[in-house]
Amino acid sequence: MKIAVYPGSFDPVTNGHLDIIVRARALFDRVIVAVAENPHKKPLFAVTERVEMLSSVLAGFPDVKVDAYSGLTVFYARKQGACAIIRGLRAISDFENEFVMALTNKKLAPEIETLFLMTEAKYSFISSSAVKEVAFYGGCLKDMVPPLVEAALRAKFSGSRENEG
């Protein structure tokens, strides 16, 4: 049984993330989408909210499990019995950080490979931070996030926009 862990902030999940998950499903028996609890980041959505959104969106995929973790990704992946960590690549700008992270992870857990998957071009510009920015100013999120994520973003920002006047 080949298991892959796809770790990330998923704050919130976008159609770019989903495209990577669909691609990973074709390569592995089981994909664990793992929401990282990172004390250095200030997320918009709580870990439980991010897990709930992912679980709803991925409900039709029995081979995909959604989980949350803290600490080093390789330790989590090892505990899950994973042979690979999946990361998505959008542009060259993603590469430098990912390169360092993959080599560090390989040093810590040589038995786990990092696999980079590219998204379809139409999703390559999407990031969670851009999506939050668009939502904050009331822009259209069609084709960028699933409808339930769009609703959650609108709900999060409805108060702040009212305050803006």
Site of interaction with ligand ADP (CB under 6 A): 8-10, 14, 16-17, 20, 87-88, 90, 94, 119, 123-124, 126-128
Can the peptide bond before residue 110 be classed as cis, meaning omega within 30 degrees of 0?
no
Identify which of residues 94 and 113 has a Cβ nearer to ligand ADP in the complex.
94
> Among this protein's residues, is 90 annotated catalytic?
yes
Q: Which of 9, 30, 50, 128 is catalytic?
A: 128
Report how many helices (DSSP H) and strands (DSSP E) the chain contains, helices first. 6, 5
> Among this protein's residues, is 132 annotated catalytic?
no
> Among this protein's residues, is 17 annotated catalytic?
yes
CA–CA distance, 12 with 132 (Å, rounded to integer): 8
CA–CA distance, 22 with 57 (Å, rounded to integer): 12
The minimum distance between CB 73 and ligand ADP, in angstroms, equals 9
Q: Which of 9, 17, 30, 132 is catalytic?
A: 17
Helix, strand or coil, per DSSP, at residue 44: coil
> Among this protein's residues, is 25 annotated catalytic?
no
Residues that are catalytic: 17, 41, 90, 128
